[in-house]
Amino acid sequence: MVPFNILVAVCLAYVILLFLVAFAAERRAERGQAGWLRSPVIYTLSLSIYCTAWTFYGAVGYAARSGLEFVTIYLGPTLVFVGWWIVLRKLVRIGQAQRVTSIADLISSRYGKSNLLGVIVTLICVLAATPYIALQLQSVTLSFGVFASETPEGWALPDQSATALWVAGGLALFTILFGTRNLDANERHHGVVMAIALEAVVKLVALLAVGVFVVWGVAGGIGPVIERIDGSPIADWPLKPGRWIGLTFISAAAVLTLPRMFQVMVVENSDERHLATASWAFPLYLFLMSLFVLPIAVVGLGQLAPGANPDLFVLTLPLSEGRGTLAMLAFLGGFSSATSMVIVASIALSTMVSNHVVVPIWLALRQGGARTPGDVRGLVLMARRVSIAAILALGYTYYHLSGGSGALAAIGLIAFVGVAQILPAMLGGIFWRGATRIGAALGLSLGFLVWLYTLYLPSFGPEGVFSAAVLNEGPWGLGWLRPQALFGVEGIDPLLHAIYWSFTLNTGAFIAGSLLSFPTPVERMQGLAFVSVFDRDVGARGWSRGGAEAEDLLTMSQGILGAEEAQAFFEAEAGAQGKAGFLPDTTPEFIERLERRLAGAVGTATAHAMIAQFAEGAAVTAQDLMAVASEAQQILEYSTQLEAKSEELARTARALQEANDKLRDLSVQKDTFLSQISHELRTPMTSIRAFSEILMDPELPGALQQKYAEVIHEETIRLTRLLDDLLDLSVLENRKVQLNVKVANLHDLLDKAIQAASNTRPERVFAIHRDASAEHMPVITDTDRLVQVFINLVSNARKYCDAERPELTILARKRGGRVVVDFIDNGSGIPKAAQRLIFEKFSRLTDTQRAGGAGLGLAICREIMANLGGTIAYLPGQGGAAFRVALPVRPENARTAEAA
């Protein structure tokens, strides 16, 4: 007999051994001596967490109740592993290529790094794992109880809940210590893996030892055992084909989708080739674990009291035979099974909870981004530690509330069906590029809800969530909604019923949703990367150059990976780019590698979101593109408008500038005008006064009197003309002139003008070139005024043409309803600066020629032409001074009338 305190001591010693092994493994790994820690054997042994206390104790109980049906739980995984080339190899490759941290991360990453899916998967896994963890606590507590009840002194077993609490607390401590040491997925948990490998050996050895003892020690060899089997009540076990197939399927699905299996199989995998070994070694492990189950069950049923709990035969058989040490070994085997499962499951679940729930919420809450070093790392680690404690607390609470429910196998299967809901999304994700996020979300949610409704909630019994009435008659009396007979299909085994409906609806919704929806670009890239993971150089190119600054990225990465590791990574990347220092160019390749690296620590969705904060606008989605396109369109329109406006503004500004310049010139001119007009008036007045004073002299000879009187007369004429011009201009400017419209021949008018102008500087020889035939055209206008303009132009030419042999060319023609007459001389012309001033009053280019006017001629011409509905303009570039006179052939609606 084993005294209880020795049992506790052995138990503690075993736990301490586990701590030491884990610690030593961590130390070795830190010193870079991971070597055999990462061998195929260790990998295979770590996979054995599939075999929990449910297997260790429960399989015998299962066999005692349902015969050989228990093997289906191991046949499914066997099929998956011998078929490793099809699914597992791809899963592991994807897991390494994408740095997947958990099954939720895999699903989230595949479907466009969607965190919604990550949350759904996390929820399913946590809900399914809670009773499973409770089950492990229960088995440990029960096995303690076995030893306590066997103790003759009858010492009181410490409160069962207290035992469970101690176990849960110890497990939480171990898991936190070795499960949350560092963050990067690909180099972590050496200690944990080593410890569970040791536990795998312990439980296998324990079960084999009990089996060997039972077969050869109790039953007396293989032959008698076979006889016993056929003679036992188990021999008539009812093989239900539906359950046989269904359970094999569900266990095959679960081995792929259980979070803890995914953790050791994909996340902790260090070398793809280990799978080749595991493909036969793991089935062999399962084979050995189940080899003696049936004999133990049969012998137990025969040897022990009829009321004995078959779930504990592994312990009670050796005890009843007086083999305390063997029982102790068996106890340690069961303890190992329970603890290794709880440790890995809580690591896997805490990773999921922190990466898909806590960090995204935290990121959403503080939009500023993870730019403070250290905060993310601390946050993630803290989130994981709290999650581990919370998950174990949940398991404990479940155990405490359920008070330890009946058969172990039932709880395990419920969990299996729950996590198996992930299978369609997972397989669809890695084999079918057309699988979309919407399809996966629909399938997962529907499967999850059906599982909850038909299996999980009813499992609490009639006193639980669903009352007996709901179970028998459906909610609100809706018969077709009975949780265990959906749509009125009755009489199916509840488990198969749940499997059938959840998988049918899950897969159906997944496929239909995928077929009908359209994936986002990131989804399609990830889909390609997952499905074509074996084709080289296919990967999601998510980030474009620019945006992200290497320094910011380094700061952020230090916060997540730790300063040393992040710096080493950046330095290596910079080195690979041929740069010294810590800041590589932020090429898309670099950013992609960095994202994967971060994904290893905090999950793909989170890593993507974090990088996105730096490489803003670089994640190209169709929506983004569309938004950018419409924005660009708007900007384009806006800028076109702006351009038009600014052009208009520029034109206005130019016009204003010109007007301003003109005003300034005019003001100067006005001053000049005043001084000129006083000068113009004063000059004749002075001579008139002087000569009239002379005339007053009575002794002046008559000849001189005559001469001076003439001078006075001439001066008064000049004065009069000046005043006439001024008046004329004033009238013209006010458009108050009375036009005398007549029909005339242009040729005659020109003749008249040349004739009249010929007395200007009559001494000069002036050649005038005309084309008489072109000039014969009628004009309807105020001919006197027009002639006045012509005279002015011709006499101007006569006055100012500075050529040695002055010539004037007169060209007349009709153009588009207007008569155009050009006067072109061969002088030096008018300088550009003066061209715009010549039509202003009193503008004179030189003071040298004073013959006649006071600089009013061209001003008057301009006003006349304006009054006639025509124009006069300086024509540059003609080799001399050139003026163009244009007037309508007939007056437009007759300015004549206006005058009236």
Residues that bind other proteins (CB under 8 A): 67-68, 71, 75, 78-86, 225-227, 229-231, 234-239, 241, 244-245, 248, 273, 276-277, 279-280, 283-284, 287, 291, 294, 534, 536
Q: Which is nearer to other proteins, 86 or 834 (CB)?
A: 86
The CA angle 742-746-752, to the nearest 5 degrees, is: 90
Minimum CB separation of residue 88 from other proteins in Å reads 11
Minimum CB separation of residue 286 from other proteins in Å reads 9
Q: Which residues, 6 or more positions from 339, have their beta carbon under 8 angstroms from its beta carbon?
A: 18, 136, 140, 167, 171, 174, 199
Q: Which is nearer to other proteins, 13 or 82 (CB)?
A: 82
CA distances (Å), 787 to each of 747, 764, 794, in order?
11, 22, 10
Q: Which is nearer to other proteins, 71 or 100 (CB)?
A: 71
Minimum CB separation of residue 238 from other proteins in Å reads 5
Give dist(CA 3, CA 147) in Å, integer.
8
Minimum CB separation of residue 563 from other proteins in Å reads 37
CB 333 within 8 A of CB 264: no
Minimum CB separation of residue 75 from other proteins in Å reads 5
Q: Which is nearer to other proteins, 216 or 287 (CB)?
A: 287
Give dist(CA 417, CA 764) in Å, integer.
122
CA atoms within 13 A on the CB side of 98: 39
Give dist(CA 408, CA 35) in Å, integer.
38
Minimum CB separation of residue 206 from other proteins in Å reads 20
Q: Which is nearer to other proteins, 30 or 227 (CB)?
A: 227
Give dist(CA 458, CA 455) in Å, integer.
5
Q: Name the phi and psi angles at 890, rounded to 5.
A: -130, 145
Amino acid 217 reads G
Minimum CB separation of residue 379 from other proteins in Å reads 40
Q: Compute the CA torsion angle 443, 445, 448, 453 (nearest 10 deg).
A: -110
Give dist(CA 552, CA 291) in Å, integer.
58
Q: Which is nearer to other proteins, 126 or 256 (CB)?
A: 256
Minimum CB separation of residue 73 from other proteins in Å reads 12
Minimum CB separation of residue 284 from other proteins in Å reads 5
What is the CA 141 to chain-centroid distance, rounded?
Answer: 50
Give dist(CA 43, CA 81) in Å, integer.
13
Give dist(CA 161, CA 149) in Å, integer.
16
Q: Which is nearer to other proteins, 151 or 270 (CB)?
A: 270
Minimum CB separation of residue 550 from other proteins in Å reads 34
Amino acid 580 reads A
Q: Which is nearer to other proteins, 350 or 526 (CB)?
A: 526
Q: Which is nearer to other proteins, 209 or 531 (CB)?
A: 531
Give dist(CA 836, CA 866) in Å, integer.
16
Tokens 């180099």 correspond to what residue? Answer: 187
DSSP 209-255: HHHHIIIIIII-SHHHHHHHHHHSGGGG----HHHHHHHHHHHHHHH
Amino acid 11 reads C
Q: Which is nearer to other proteins, 278 or 810 (CB)?
A: 278
Give dist(CA 794, CA 791) in Å, integer.
5
Give dist(CA 574, CA 590) in Å, integer.
9
Minimum CB separation of residue 457 from other proteins in Å reads 30
Residue from 850, 741, 750, 838 nearest 791 by CA: 750
Q: Which is nearer to other proteins, 236 or 763 (CB)?
A: 236
The CA angle 727-728-732, to the nearest 5 degrees, is: 120
Q: Which residues, 6 or more positions from 522, have their beta carbon under 8 angstroms from its beta carbon?
A: 112, 113, 540, 542, 619, 621
Q: Which is nearer to other proteins, 238 or 701 (CB)?
A: 238
Give dist(CA 33, CA 25) in Å, integer.
9
Three-class SS state of 766 = coil
Minimum CB separation of residue 277 from other proteins in Å reads 7
Minimum CB separation of residue 245 from other proteins in Å reads 6
Minimum CB separation of residue 287 from other proteins in Å reads 5
Minimum CB separation of residue 256 from other proteins in Å reads 13
Q: Which is nearer to other proteins, 84 or 213 (CB)?
A: 84
| Residue 621 buriedness (CB in 10 A; 0-12 / 13-18 / 19+) | middle
Tell how strand 871-874 and strand 807-815 pair up. Answer: unpaired
CB 299 within 8 A of CB 228: yes
Minimum CB separation of residue 143 from other proteins in Å reads 26
Q: Which is nearer to other proteins, 274 or 798 (CB)?
A: 274
The CA angle 761-763-765, to the nearest 5 degrees, is: 100
Sheet holding 807-815, edge to edge: 767-770, 807-815, 818-825, 882-888, 871-874
Q: Which residues, 6 or more positions from 541, have their beta carbon under 8 angstroms from its beta carbon?
A: 525, 588, 592
Minimum CB separation of residue 76 from other proteins in Å reads 9
Q: Which is nearer to other proteins, 82 or 777 (CB)?
A: 82
Q: Which is nearer to other proteins, 248 or 387 (CB)?
A: 248
**Which run of H or of E encompasses 778?**
strand 778-782
Minimum CB separation of residue 276 from other proteins in Å reads 4
CB 488 within 8 A of CB 424: no
| Both structure tokens of 668 | 């100067």
DSSP structure class, residue 737:
-
Q: Which is nearer to other proteins, 276 or 390 (CB)?
A: 276
Give dist(CA 739, CA 732) in Å, integer.
10
Please compute Rg for the chain using Cα positions: 54
